[in-house]
Amino acid sequence: MKRKITVLNIILISFILILSACSKSNEEKEYDNIVVGTDDLFELKLYVDKSTYAKDEIIFCYATLEYIGEGDSITIYSSDPLLGFGLKDDKYFDGGYIVNDVLITTTIYKGQTIKYDYAKSGGWSGDDPNAAFYEKFYSDKNLVLPTGKYEISAAISCSLEMEDSIGSQYSQSVSVFIEVMD
């Protein structure tokens, strides 16, 4: 009897080790669809796990922002969030994103990479013909889309000087195209 329990424990431990070795977290997931935007100040990257999805499949994506300018750091002034995600198609989404109208001061150090997980952003009117769709879509934290072709974008918009926030506007965006099929 004792030998039988030991064999079962070994099988159970082996099974758990195999499962844990095979599963990957979102951090370890491989991303095949990566786009990079680089200028004198920042490198903006958008990571999407693939280009084609099945209907009701979760889409994993995130963006990173790294300061690559000449100084040791940069201080920027923005709304909240600094980086937003847009979604665009021919039926439901217009590509924009919503920000809180506040002034946030952010200092980013050279070589520092900031990760932004995908976050949905949007709104609708109760009398919109697609209101039921939007309510369901925004109530789910996961990015799951109906059949169609989409553009996913990551964008930053900020000012480089506090005293001249309009004259020192800075923006950068990157986008990828995906398709969701039946």
pLDDT at 67: 96
Q: For the chain, what's the residue count?
A: 182
Q: Where are the domains of the chain?
A: 25-181
Phi and psi angles of residue 18, each rounded to the nearest 5 degrees, phi first? -65, -45
CATH class of 25-181: mainly beta
pLDDT (tens, 9 = 90+) of the chain, 182 residues, equals 555 555 444 444 444 433 344 434 445 578 888 999 999 999 999 999 999 999 999 999 999 999 999 999 999 999 889 999 999 999 998 888 778 788 899 999 999 999 999 999 888 898 999 999 999 999 999 999 999 999 999 999 999 998 887 888 999 999 999 999 99
Beta bridge partners of 20: none
Q: How far is CA 140 from CA 36, 72, 90, 127, in A?
A: 28, 40, 21, 21
CA distance 63 to 83: 8
Residue 19: per-residue pLDDT? 38
What is the rounded CA–CA span in Å between residue 130 and residue 134? 6
Q: Write down the pLDDT at residue 102.
A: 83
Query: pLDDT at position 13, please?
Result: 43
Write the DSSP assignment of 24-43 as a string of letters: --TTT---SEEEEEE-SSEE
DSSP tag of 2: H
